[in-house]
Amino acid sequence: MLVRCLVVTVGLSVLVAARPSAVNNPIIVTIANGPFAGRYQSDAADTYCMRQSKHNTLSATWQAADVQGAKTFSLAAVDVYDINGAGPKFGDVHVAFGDPQKKPLVYEVRHGPLTMTKEGKATVLAFDGKTKDGIQLRIRATCAQIDEL
């Protein structure tokens, strides 16, 4: 699944040139326990939100441009499935620390419960739960601009 997030990140990087410079799409990650407990925030200008109509998904993703060390916050991603369907939302969340080329530490939840709400003109994707190893994650991705793919 990390590979899928990286593919989405690469795909979104193609859209960079056409994107306004004042976009504010932050992903805020709070980890309540474990060796990486703390609050982390993506660079909002480098966080991309993308709707894939063909797959009926909405993704918010960020990857650090320069990773310095194994404890560096390096990736955050939220993927929501069946965005147009009625009822509760489900999807995947990923948070990584360290260089993606050197076996980063990845916290992830697959097919977990998510919320997708509107706040003004922005769409907010949120997750509050635990990984299979008991790491408590809270993720909030605000998508003020959503690109179509």
When comparing pLDDT for 116 and 1, which is higher? 116
Q: How is residue 21 annotated by DSSP?
A: T
Per-residue confidence (pLDDT) for residue 22, from 0 to 100: 55
* Structural domain for 10, as ranges: 2-14+22-148
Measured between its terminal Cα atoms, the distance across the chain in Å is 19
- 34-59 pLDDT tens trace: 999 999 999 888 899 999 999 999 99
- For residue 16, pLDDT over 80 is answered with no
Q: Which residues of 115-135 are buried (b: 16+ CB within 10 A; e: fewer)?
A: ebeeeeebbbbbbeeebeeeb
3-state secondary structure of 29: strand
Q: Which helix (H) or strand (E) holds 115?
A: strand 105-119
Judge contact between 91 and 111, C-beta under 8 A: yes
When comparing pLDDT for 23 and 65, which is higher? 65
Give the chain's domain count.
1
- 78-127 pLDDT tens trace: 999 999 999 999 999 999 999 888 889 999 999 999 999 999 999 999 99
- Give CA–CA dist 83/52, Å, rounded: 10
The model's pTM: 0.83
Judge contact between 98 and 71, C-beta under 8 A: yes
Q: For the domain that residue 87 is a member of, what is the CATH number?
A: 2.40.160
